[in-house]
């Protein structure tokens, strides 16, 4: 009887669970269906707030629970922003743009691409105004494209030139007995330099100075053109921090006027000859303006490779050979796809995963034209997967190159000695073994060094074949050296300067297409378990909780440190954590 009672209870519990899940989905469906449709009102001004994370590609969230509860990860997709701005040019209801963002959460190459798109918008004859209480340097660079630029009377503009800071850990390692055992190829391959030295090497200082000056030259040139200032005048303003208060900012032509928010609102009203409505960029995209319609049958596939490269499946933030290679195969198999554009935004990572993606692209190139578009970063492994394209297009401010490899393994021998810990090993063979509690022996070092050298040679040969250069020519600009897109042109690593649109147009020309539509890859699927992965804080996962607690700046540092534990195998990775300010 007890068995039957338990069995009936289990069956009843099962059916109650099924009913509750079914009921939950009905509620979710009704919530999703009841969402108000976004309508663009006549006489509207498009408001650009770019404080959300801007990614090259951010597919729509496929988690109906999160969507219904409106707790999706806040992010903006660059491709949708571009489509929205293109549509806004032709939209009679949109009279102009108001740039009013406290922070531009994008890299310099993305920001430069956005600025160019806003320049195109101005060509339609519609206005762009910008207002802020305080401008960060990147925000000012973007906002300077405006027809009229305004600042709060007690505000300021942080405009002092570019800089970056690198932390060195050798003394820390010596003091506490924990260090990184490093094996590398490339005198500029400074990804591991902070673990080996107490100060910056001349080679590292040379390349860092070079690419910072290259990026700064782009910024000062474009700001100067918009504000009718010479590059010399712009540099003089930066040297003496002449945007440090509103009075100086106006005197030095960084802004057109110093006004309060209500006065800015009055100027917008005057610009549209009366009352106006506002619509946020996110709502404008939701209204359907983040897409471009086309009746063309032919397609160009745009495959987005964004994030660090790791061996495995990958996801929206990690480039894995699993997801990327599936996307490449789908694009090749689709007869309507006539050309492929690979959009790379990556500092590199696993050399093995990079080579597996390179191979799939090599096969794809035999079937269809392949063009690479470089975003903020296409360095090391990011360049590895780009090098065999028919054409490589980069933004002038793209960070690329870094053709070099390294291996880094933590070692706690000195720490274990200080703590009185002794590790004893027993092995069946005399192969190259490694213990974190023992110094690296020569045999292990030699074997690992051989692997590093082999992968470096393979890397350089891949580039030489793809770029139609000799091994010696590639080696001369390799050695882990980082270049901007502008610098990489003269080194033979990049063919043309431009954004994603430029790369897509080039792919269309190679495929001899007059009309086409875009098919974006990869497709990311939400695991059924993740649909219910909601924390008590209303966030999707622990990363979102950490980001909320630490803030964007601290979370980026935390995530970079956290990546170290996932580094497996020999790495083709960016020189160091780049935080250009």
The set of catalytic residues is 189, 380
Q: Hey, what are 437's tokens? A: 């509690």
The DSSP 8-state label assigned to residue 495 in this structure reads S
User: Phi-psi category of 288—alpha, beta or left, where left has phi over 0 and alpha has psi -120 to 50?
Assistant: left
**Residue 329 to residue 442: CA distance in whole angstroms:** 43
CA dist 474 and 486 (Å) reads: 17
Strands 179-185 and 405-411: antiparallel
The secondary structure element, H or E, covering residue 23 is helix 2-33
Q: Is 542 exposed, middle or buried (0-12, 13-18, 19+ CB in 10 A)?
A: exposed
Which residue shows structure tokens 């091994």?
Answer: 471
The whole-angstrom separation of Cα 415 and Cα 272 is 69
Phi first, then psi: what are they for 257, rounded to 5°?
Answer: -160, 160
Report residue 576 as tokens: 């160091």
- Alpha-carbon distance of 490 to 210, in angstroms, equals 14
Q: How far apart are CA 542 and CA 175, in angstroms?
A: 33
Nearest 5°: CA angle at 153, between 147 and 159?
65
φ, ψ for residue 179 (rounded to 5)? Answer: -145, 170
Residue 199, classed as helix, strand or coil, is coil
**How is residue 387 written in tokens?**
């090098």
């Amino acid at each position: 009887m007890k068995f039957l009672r338990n069995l009936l209870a289990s069956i009843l519990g099962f059916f109650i669970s099924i009913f509750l899940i079914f009921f939950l989905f009905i509620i979710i469906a009704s919530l999703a269906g009841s969402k108000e449709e976004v309508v663009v009102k006549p006489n509207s001004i498009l408001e650009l707030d770019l404080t959300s994370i801007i990614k090259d590609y951010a597919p729509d969230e496929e988690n109906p629970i999160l969507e219904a509860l409106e707790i999706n990860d806040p992010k903006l997709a660059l491709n949708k922003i571009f489509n929205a701005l293109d549509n806004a040019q032709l939209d009679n209801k949109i009279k102009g743009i108001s740039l009013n963002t406290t922070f531009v959460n994008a890299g310099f190459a993305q920001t430069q691409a956005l600025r160019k798109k806003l320049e195109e918008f101005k060509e339609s004859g519609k206005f762009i105004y910008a207002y802020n209480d305080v401008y960060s340097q990147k925000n000012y660079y973007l906002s300077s494209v405006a027809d009229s630029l305004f600042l709060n009377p007690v505000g300021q503009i942080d405009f002092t030139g570019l800089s970056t800071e690198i932390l060195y850990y050798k003394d820390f390692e010596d003091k506490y007995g924990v260090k990184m055992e490093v094996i590398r190829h490339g005198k500029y391959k400074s990804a591991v330099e902070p673990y080996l030295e107490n100060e910056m090497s001349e080679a590292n200082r040379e390349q860092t100075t070079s690419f910072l000056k290259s990026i700064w030259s782009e910024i000062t040139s474009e700001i100067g053109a918009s504000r009718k200032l010479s590059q010399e005048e712009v540099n003089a303003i930066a040297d003496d921090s002449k945007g440090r208060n509103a009075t100086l900012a106006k005197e030095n032509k960084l802004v057109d006027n110093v006004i309060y928010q209500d006065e800015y609102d009055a100027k917008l009203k005057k610009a549209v000859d009366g009352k106006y409505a506002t619509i946020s960029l996110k709502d404008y995209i939701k209204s359907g303006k983040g897409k471009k319609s086309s009746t063309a049958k032919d397609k160009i596939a745009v495959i987005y490779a964004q994030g660090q490269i790791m061996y495995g499946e990958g996801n929206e933030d990690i480039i894995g050979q699993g997801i990327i290679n599936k996307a490449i195969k789908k694009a090749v198999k689709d007869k309507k796809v006539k050309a492929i554009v690979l959009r790379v935004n990556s500092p590199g990572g696993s050399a093995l995963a990079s080579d597996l993606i390179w191979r799939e692209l090599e096969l794809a190139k035999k079937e269809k034209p392949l063009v690479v578009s470089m975003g903020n970063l296409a360095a090391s492994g990011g360049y590895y997967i780009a090098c065999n394209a028919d054409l490589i297009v980069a933004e002038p401010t793209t960070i690329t190159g870094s053709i070099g490899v390294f291996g880094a393994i933590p070692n706690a021998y000195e720490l274990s000695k200080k703590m009185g810990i002794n590790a004893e090993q027993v092995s069946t063979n005399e192969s190259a073994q490694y213990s974190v509690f023992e110094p690296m022996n020569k045999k292990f070092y030699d074997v690992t060094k051989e692997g590093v050298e082999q992968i470096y040679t393979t890397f350089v040969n891949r580039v030489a074949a793809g770029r139609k250069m000799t091994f010696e020519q590639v080696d001369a600009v390799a050695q882990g050296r980082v270049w901007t897109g502008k610098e990489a042109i003269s080194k033979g690593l990049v063919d043309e300067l431009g954004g994603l649109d430029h790369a897509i147009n080039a792919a269309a020309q190679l495929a001899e297409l007059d009309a086409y539509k875009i098919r974006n890859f990869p497709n990311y699927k939400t695991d059924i378990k993740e649909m219910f992965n909601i924390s008590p804080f209303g966030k999707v996962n622990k990363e979102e909780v950490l980001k909320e607690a630490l803030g964007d700046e601290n979370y980026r540092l935390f995530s970079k440190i956290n990546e170290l534990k996932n580094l497996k195998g020999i790495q083709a990775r960016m020189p160091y954590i780049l935080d250009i300010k």
